[in-house]
Each structure stands twice: as C-alpha cells, then as structure tokens.
Amino acid sequence: MTDLVIVGAGGFARETAAAAGGFRVLGFVDDDPALHGTHRSGRPILGPVDSVRAMPDAQVVVCVGNPRNFTARRAIVERLGLPDDRYATVVHPLASVGAGSAIGPGTVLLAGAVLTADVSVGAHVAVMPQAVLTHDDHVSDYCTIASGVRLGGGVVLDEGAYVGAGALVREGMKVGAWSLIGMGAVVLHDVPAGEVWAGNPARLIRPLTRS
C-alpha cells in the first residue's frame, strides 16, 4: 500500500483522507504552526507544507482552496515543484469512472462523483460529492467542481475554473480560465475568462480579481 501525505488540513483535505482507501494516509501537512503536532480526523499534522520534500517515498495530494481563494492549489503545486509521479490520484470507491475517461495526477474524486464516458479531467482537480460529468467533457488543470454540479455533454472548463455547488452547465458550453460560477447557477452561454457569473440564467456579476 502506497503512503500518502495530504497538503492542507481543512474540510477538503479531511474528505480526501476518508476517500483514500487504497493508500496508507500518513497525515496532513499545513503551514499553520499552531496545528503542528495536533490531529485532524484521527490523523497527525506532520509539519509545514515543504516537509513533503523530505518524504520521497510518499505520494502527495494538494487539498486546499475555497471560493475566496481558489488559486491556492496551483500556488502550492508550483511552490513545491514536485514531478508528476509524486502526485496521487484519489478516487473514492463510490465514484464512477466511465469508459474512455482519464484523470490526471493530483486529482480527487469524492463519493458519488460520476464521469459517464470519454471525460477528460486534468491535474490537481477537485471533484466534490455527487457531481456528474457527462460524455466528452474536458476539465482542465486546477479546476474545482463543487457538490451536485451537472455538466452537460461536451462542456469545457478551462484552467482553474470554479463551478459552485448545484450549478448546471448546458451542453457544449465553455467556462473560461479562472472564472467562478455561483451556487445553483444555470449556465446557458459561454463564460469568458476571469469573471464571476451567477443566477438563473447565469449572468455576469463582476470581473474577478485574483492573485
């Protein structure tokens, strides 16, 4: 069984630990010194994020970020500079990955996530519980797909796109890089890069300023 260290100690990190049945989860790493030596979900906080470099035999998955800071996952991956083969792909036993689908390194699929057929999911993507990605969807690196999202066939999510809980994206639509789709939004048109869209039907709320 392969050792796994999870970067972060928040909710997504703890959910990933629960999903990683095929790994021996050694614990979490986090840059908050107040957490070092404590435990989360019965597993230790081993030290700061950079300490994974001193654990060459363990695979790593980066589980940070939220709607207020969804570039954090990319920033940590770039900071660590690890080769792709150091990153684990974690698929919950109750997730479903259909024929012809591919999942990149560092990506996590939580319980009930469904990839129906010929779905491409890049590296360091977070797919939350009960999300459904249908045929020929293409999800780029660093995207976040929150719980209950439904993507119609042939949807494209460019790098870093964040699709909020319960959102629906019509077939064939494209969500631009580092855009954010609000909770429960119904996306009927392409979304440009770097914008916040919400509502039913979804519309532009504001440009998105990001680091």
Interatomic CA distance for residues 104 and 157, integer angstroms = 15
Sign of CA dihedral 26, 159, 10, 103: negative
Q: Is 36 one of the annotated active-site residues of the chain? A: no
Residue 133's φ and ψ, nearest 5 degrees, are -115, 120
Catalytic option among 36, 39, 124, 135:
135
Active site residues: 135
